[in-house]
Amino acid sequence: MRILVNDKMQKGYQYELVEPEGLNFDPDFHPELTPIQMLEMGVFEGKYMTDCQNEFPQYWFAKARLSPDRPDVNCNYFAVKSRQPLSVWRQRGWIIGPDVRGWFQWYCRYFYGRRIPDVDKIQIARWRAFKRHKAQVLKNCLPLDENCRRKQRQALLQWAYNPIF
């Protein structure tokens, strides 16, 4: 199936779904949460996916915590801001390939079934490197203490790691 993207940040981009949704991931990539679970829990202040819902199945957004008008930290699971502005991502070279919104957009498209081997390899390596944050939370927090390291836990959630352990 071919997907045509026309949203505020990307016009006329097309890609093919070459794998079934949520299946056949790279052997080094084991996200703990799906994009659907992430959206339901609350990520990116509810603003990230408000103008690109037509790209993905509508059921992804049935229980999503979204804020269509403006970013709202209360939409985040931990009710804290835990992200860099997109301008910082661009400045640091973290926007890779056709995914102009960054890692989460790449993950949504990968989960949906798109594959771009060179881009996928880079993004999976970035995801794996982020796991160090989970080790820090485990080392410094009591089990299930969601008030400990809330920003770091929100960041873990936004990288598809389960922040509640």
Average pLDDT, the chain: 94
Mention every residue, 6+ apart, whose C-beta is less than 8 A from residue 74. none
Mention every residue, 6+ apart, whose C-beta is less than 8 A from residue 72. 45, 46, 47
pTM of the model: 0.95
Distance of CA 41 to the CA centre of its chain: 12
Residue 152 has pLDDT above 80, yes or no: yes
Residue 83 has pLDDT above 80, yes or no: no
Provide the residue ranges of all domains of the chain, joining segments of one domain with +.
2-22+30-158
Task: Give residue 20's pLDDT.
Answer: 98
Give the start-end residues of each E strand in the chain.
2-6, 11-16
pLDDT digits (tens, 9 = 90+) for 91-127: 988 899 999 999 999 999 999 999 999 999 999 999 9
pLDDT digits (tens, 9 = 90+) for 23-52: 999 999 999 999 999 999 999 999 888 899
Mention every residue, 6+ apart, whose C-beta is less than 8 A from residue 37. none
